[in-house]
Structures are given as C-alpha cells and as structure tokens.
Amino acid sequence: MPSTTTTLPAGEAVPVLGQGTWMMGEDRSRAADEVAALRLGLDLGVTLIDTAEMYGNGGAEKVVGEAIAGRRHEVFLVSKVLPSNASRNGVVRACEASLKRMRTDRIDLYLLHWRGGVPLAETIAVFEELRRSGKIRHWGVSNFDADDMEEMERLPAGRNAQVNQVLYNLGRRGIEFDLAPWCREHGMPIMAYSPVEQGALADDAALQAIAARHDATAAQLALAWVMARPGVIAIPKATRLEHVRQNAAARDIRLTPGDLAELDTLFPPPARKRPLEMI
C-alpha cells in the first residue's frame, strides 16, 4: 500500500494526509459542522490539522480548538504566523494568541505564512526561541520559492526548517522544476495546499475516467496523486462528512505506472522555471 507517513528533517514521522482549515471559522453558524468534520477526520486517522491565524481572523483556530478538545495528544497541529506579525515581538504575541484560541500549550509545527518586510533572520531567531521554550516543537515556512529556501539555508539556524507549504496539485506542477528537487535533496517535505484545486479537479472528465478504474472519484484520484509524490503532505479541506470519508479513503488508492504516465500527458510537468504560484 502507499506510504501513510513522511519524515521531517528532525526525524519525526508525520502523516501524508492532513486536514486543511482554510475558510473555516468565518461563520459561527457553520462551526458545529466544521468541528464535526475535523473530529471525524481524527476518528479516521487523519491526525494532522493545518490552520493559520489569518483564516477567519482567528476563527479557524477556534474551530480547531473545539475539535481537538480532549484529543490534543492525537493531533499533529500546524499553524502559521502572518508576515505582518513576523517581527521579534510580533511572533511571540501571535503565537500566544494562537495557543489561546486553540486551547493548547504547544504548536507542533509553526510556519511563516509568506515572506514580508521583516528580515527572515529575525523571524527565524524568534522561532528558535519559541522552540526552546516548548511553545512550538518545529518551525517551517510557506510560499517560499527555491531562491528563498537557499537564502534561508545560509542564515543562522536556517537549516532547522522542517517544511515548506506551497500550492501544489495536478494542475499546478511548477514547483517540480526546481523547488521540489531542492526540498527532496535537503530531506524537507512539501506540504501541498489546495491539492484538489479547491474542488476544480473533481469536475475534470479525464480524471473521472481514470478514477473510475479505481472505483474512486476524480477528487480522490487527484489527492492520491499528491500523496504519491515523494515527501509530499496533502492538506485538503472538507466540511462535509462524506468528503472527509472520501479523503481518508484516498490513502488506499494505488496508482499504476500507466496511470501516472497518463496523468503526465494530461497535466504535463514543467519544462522551465515558473514563478511560484499562490492563491
């Protein structure tokens, strides 16, 4: 069967399938359904949860806090700090606020959401302080291109980064030209957000035809493709229980060499460097 975990540079195994929370926490009337979806994911062994202080202006972290109440020990918890809060004092305040919203004493993986005006060395130094204090266990980055990764590696403690979270799916393969090889060479997993292109890939007729051979949906096939990439973690968001179950079941899909070749024809890998895509 396909691997269900990948390994951080620090040596810790983490699931290749997680639960995303982008656009959760924006409407309290939907909170109960969002909490139920995350809890079902935990029941199905999808124990990595990704969130951010930006999502719902902290609302998503509150939803996560409700979902993991009494189950914190089961969860590998990821959150992100905004670049506007990436200064020495700003990171500390942001981290404390995230911990409070999620009702926990630690974040397993804390990411810089994207680069901003604060010097990267300053942000990394605070991440290291938070790690030593136990408020975060690991840190990483998000939306960093290959040149950003190279710059970070040259900084003090820059090699302690554990993950780069970027946009990656069948239709967004630009990172395969240089960023993904860089991360593989350095043993750093990529965390793929929007692995089903916010649901758009679910409607692709060609994907549906391939998925039918596996008794699966096109969305499951697209998700399985991401999880089959070496060192890649997929974090789809699902608020419907049916979709949570389908995402979890995608872990069992085994793509054949023929499937992969067909997918390469339909969604060709990049032949040149492309700017890093973000949504």
Q: Which residues are annotated as a binding site?
A: 113
Q: For residue 131, what are the contacts with CB-CB under 8 A and spacing of at least 6?
A: 137, 138, 139, 160
Structure-derived torsion over alpha carbons of residues 154, 158, 162, 164, reported in degrees to the nearest 10: -60
138 close to 108: Cβ distance less than 8 angstroms: yes
d(CA 84, CA 127): 15
d(CA 156, CA 120): 10
Residue ranges at the known binding site for substrate: 113
d(CA 129, CA 135): 9
Specify whether the backbone of 194 is left (phi greater than 0), alpha (psi in -120 to 50) or beta: left
Count of C-beta atoms within a 10 Å radius of residue 231: 18
Buried b (16+ CB within 10 A) or exposed e, 95-110: beebbebbebeebbbb
Q: Which residue has 């699966």 as its token pair? A: 216
Q: For residue 209, what are the contacts with CB-CB under 8 A and spacing of at least 6?
A: none
d(CA 125, CA 121): 6
Q: Mark whether 55 is an active-site residue.
A: yes
Query: Largest alpha-carbon pair distance within the chain?
Result: 54
Annotated catalytic residue: which of 55, 110, 168, 193?
A: 55
16 close to 48: Cβ distance less than 8 angstroms: no
Known catalytic residues? 55
